[in-house]
Each structure stands twice: as C-alpha cells, then as structure tokens.
C-alpha cells in the first residue's frame, strides 16, 4: 500500500505491483513497463551493460522479451537469441553487427525482396559489395570468397520456388575460410530445420510468419551459435532500437506454443496439395521439396524434418490463368504473407516480384503463370476442394 498521508493524486501515480504469493503465473506475464526501479545505481549500470543480467530499461532487456529469446535459443540450439520488432529488423541486426564499410557478402540468388532492398541500400550507402551464388553450389561459394568477405547469406527454403540451400556444404566452405554463415530460416521454422546444427553461425526468422502463426503480429528474432556474436547482436539491436514491444512478444510466445502442432498439420497438408496439383491437367509443374522431381528433393530428405508448407506451381495457361486462380479461391485467401493458420495465395509476378523484368523472373525460375500457396492447418479435404474448384476457372 502507498503511504496514506500522501495526496490522492500522488497515490494514483504510485500504484504498487502485486507480487504473486504462493503461485507462479502459468502464462508468461506481459511486463508492459519501459523501465525497472532499483535500490542502487550500480545494479542499474550492471543491467544496462549485460544482456544476461537484471532489467533496467526495456529497449535493452525486458522479461517478456527475454522469455521468447530463451525459448528460441533452445529451439535453435543457440547460445543466445535477440528478439526484434520485425523480420527485417532481425536481418538488419544479424548483418549490421558484423559489417563494416567496404565489407563483401556472398548472397544466395533470389532471396526475399525486402532483404535484397536492404542489401542494395547498404551497397549504395556504405560501399558494400555482394556476389550472388546458388544456395546449393559450394564450389561457386569458394570461388566467390574474397579477403574482405565477412558473411555468406542463405535462405533455408526460398520464395517462391522452394529452393533448398545445401546448408551443410555451404557452411563448411564458409567455416573453413573463417567467414560467418547467416541463414534466414523463416520458411522452415525450427520444426523443419535447425541451421545452427548444420554449421551456420546466425539464424534469423520473421516471427510474423510461422513462429507466431496467426497473422496477428509483426516480429523477428536472431539466434547465435556463439556467445560473442550474440552479445554483438544484442548491443546492435539495443543501440538501433529495433527491439520489440512486450505485448507483441507475448503474442509470439503464445503462437510458439503450438508451433509443433501447426507445422505438422501444415506440412502434411502441403504434401497432399502438391500431389493434387501435380495430377491436375491445368498445372505444368509443382515446386515443393516433397516432389521427387524437385531439384533438391534428396537434400531436403536429408536436412529437413518434413518438407515445409510453402509451395508454388506453374499454370499451363500462364498469367491470365494465374489471375483467374487467385480470384477464384473461396476458402483460401489472397494475401501477401505466409506462415499463418489459414491457407493464403499470391501471384508473385504481380506482387512480391512485380519489379522483376522478364529476364530476372526467368533467372529466378518464376513464370507469369506461377502461383504461390502458404498452406495452413485447415482440413485437407476442404483445401483440395477449394483448389480444385479454382483450377476449373483456369
């Protein structure tokens, strides 16, 4: 209780927190506080300097945020993890903490558009240089390395063609050369792939996608094999202020609790839809690592648990068929995101890849008849029915 001799307006300001007595909250509490009070200056200073210490100021550390960081570090087998306000924030932290003016990066071909935009900006602003290689070509990676190469940037499963990176081979080449490997594993989630176990140094996720899983929050996370890189990432995130809000973080924690169940259902739905699509006369080609004709099918069997729930397919009749398909789905929603409980579709050449020329699309393996699906957790029979009726319109 606050001192009853104080004025009412003062007592209204100083609301004491209720300490739980004799019971622990089962759900992680939302510490919706920007700052933490201490009894002496030294504990504040210590907290401000230590990502593993006490809490002083929420941009540098918050108990709700740290709960997510601990959970993700465990799932990825990491020394530590740093949560961010978005997936792009995570990528900016993973790279920003390592790069210097003039650094060279080796980057997988056809990565997420937002990341390409960030790299283009870094190149223009800080004199960075990049070399593109295929994600499953360790010889090309070896040839691309330079004395000023600081990192290799890969994606476990690419958008929208579901190219699977040969993480063991690529990480081995980078490691031998003393170069870090950074892997965007958003399309896989730790249920499908754990890049640090395969030799990567830093893994990044857009938590907006599978980790939260309900299309209701934007967030990101970086996880580090090494304590030194974790501390550098934490310092960079705290300095640039890309750390997340406790409530957004709590939504991600809540989603994470069902990640295993959701991924199991979505992965098995995706295999079923890929089969349906492959057997349909309107479809030229299905791109999903479960398909025996997928270029990295054998690699996917080796390094993934399940094949993921992202897939794309090429409609034989091209662009107008793709537009007819995305306009005809009923249960499936047309939306430019992924990884939620609901099945979504997009037409990449008019949305995520709209700035690509015909040559650039061809180089990425995308046609104007390519359609992407983010497969959700609905009953597979309902998804097959919606897919089939929409394909009738193509």
Ligand X SMILES: *Cc1c(COP(=O)(O)O)cnc(C)c1O
Given the rule CB under 6 A, which residues bind ligand X?
86-88, 112, 114, 155, 159, 184, 186-187, 206, 208-209, 218, 220
Taking the complex as a whole, how short is the minimal distance between the CB of residue 85 and ligand X, in angstroms? 8
Taking the complex as a whole, how short is the minimal distance between the CB of residue 184 and ligand X, in angstroms? 5
Cα–Cα distance measured from residue 264 to residue 137, given in angstroms and rounded to the nearest whole number: 30
- Using Cβ positions, the residue closest to ligand X within the complex turns out to be 87
Both structure tokens of 95? 């790279």
Taking the complex as a whole, how short is the minimal distance between the CB of residue 339 and ligand X, in angstroms? 7
Q: Tell which residue, 178, 183, 206, has the closest CA to residue 194.
A: 183
Cα–Cα distance measured from residue 192 to residue 333, given in angstroms and rounded to the nearest whole number: 24
Q: In whole angstroms, how far apart are CA 116 and each of 5, 91, 223, 389?
A: 61, 11, 21, 36
Q: Name which of 86 and 249 has its Cβ closer to ligand X.
A: 86
Q: In whole angstroms, how far apart are CA 223 and each of 251, 257, 277, 373?
A: 19, 18, 36, 27
Q: Name which of 47 and 338 has its Cβ closer to ligand X.
A: 338
Kindly list the catalytic residues.
59, 112, 184, 209
Cα–Cα distance measured from residue 74 to residue 105, given in angstroms and rounded to the nearest whole number: 28
Q: Name which of 231 and 353 has its Cβ closer to ligand X.
A: 353
Taking the complex as a whole, how short is the minimal distance between the CB of residue 116 and ligand X, in angstroms? 10
Q: Name which of 200 and 321 has its Cβ closer to ligand X.
A: 200
Taking the complex as a whole, how short is the minimal distance between the CB of residue 327 and ligand X, in angstroms? 24
Taking the complex as a whole, how short is the minimal distance between the CB of residue 37 and ligand X, in angstroms? 33
Q: Name which of 187 and 234 has its Cβ closer to ligand X.
A: 187
Q: Name which of 185 and 367 has its Cβ closer to ligand X.
A: 185
Length of the chain: 394
9-42: burial string, b at 16+ Cβ within 10 Å, e else? eeeeeeeeeeeeeeeeeeebebbeeeebeeeeee
Q: Tell which residue, 215, 223, 222, has the closest CA to residue 255.
A: 215
Residues 348, 352, 358, 359, CA torsion sign: negative
- Extended strands (E) in the chain: 80-84, 104-108, 129-133, 149-155, 180-184, 202-206, 220-224, 283-287, 310-315, 333-334, 344-346, 370-374
Q: What is the DSSP letter of 148?
A: T
């Amino acid at each position: 209780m606050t001192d009853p001799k104080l004025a009412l307006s003062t007592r209204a300001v100083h609301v004491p927190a209720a300490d739980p007595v004799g019971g622990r909250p089962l759900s992680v509490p939302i510490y919706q506080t920007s700052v933490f009070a201490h009894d002496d200056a030294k504990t504040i200073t210590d907290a401000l300097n230590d990502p593993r210490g006490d809490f002083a100021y929420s941009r540098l550390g918050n108990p709700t945020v740290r709960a997510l960081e601990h959970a993700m570090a465990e799932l990825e087998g990491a020394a530590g993890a740093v949560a961010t306000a978005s997936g792009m924030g995570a990528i900016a932290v993973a790279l920003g903490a390592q790069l210097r003016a003039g650094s060279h990066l080796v980057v997988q071909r056809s990565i997420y558009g937002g990341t390409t935009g960030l790299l283009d900006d870094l190149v223009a602003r800080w004199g960075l240089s990049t070399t593109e290689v295929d994600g499953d070509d360790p010889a090309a990676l070896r040839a691309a390395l330079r004395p000023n190469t600081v990192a290799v940037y890969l994606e476990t499963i690419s958008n929208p063609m579901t190219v699977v990176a040969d993480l063991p081979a690529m990480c081995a080449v980078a490691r031998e050369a003393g170069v870090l490997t950074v892997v965007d594993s958003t399309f896989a989630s730790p249920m499908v792939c754990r890049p640090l176990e395969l030799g990567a140094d830093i893994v990044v996720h857009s938590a907006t996608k599978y980790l939260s899983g309900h299309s209701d929050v934007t967030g990101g996370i970086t996880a580090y094999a090494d304590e030194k890189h974790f501390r550098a990432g934490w310092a960079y995130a705290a300095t640039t202020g890309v750390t997340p809000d406790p409530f957004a973080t709590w939504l991600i924690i809540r989603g994470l609790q069902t990640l295993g169940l959701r991924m199991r259902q979505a992965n098995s739905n995706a295999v079923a839809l890929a089969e349906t699509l492959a057997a349909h006369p309107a479809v030229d080609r299905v791109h999903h690592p479960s398909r025996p004709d997928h270029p990295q099918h054998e690699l996917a069997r080796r390094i993934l648990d399940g094949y993921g729930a992202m897939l794309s397919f090429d409609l034989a009749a091209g662009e107008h068929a793709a537009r007819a398909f995305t306009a005809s789905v009923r249960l499936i929603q047309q939306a430019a995101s992924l990884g939620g409980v609901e099945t979504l579709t997009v037409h990449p050449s008019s949305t995520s890849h709209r700035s690509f020329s015909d040559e650039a699309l061809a180089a990425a393996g995308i046609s104007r008849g390519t359609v992407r699906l983010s497969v959700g957790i609905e009953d597979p029979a309902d998804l097959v029915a919606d897919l089939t009726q929409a394909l009738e319109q193509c």
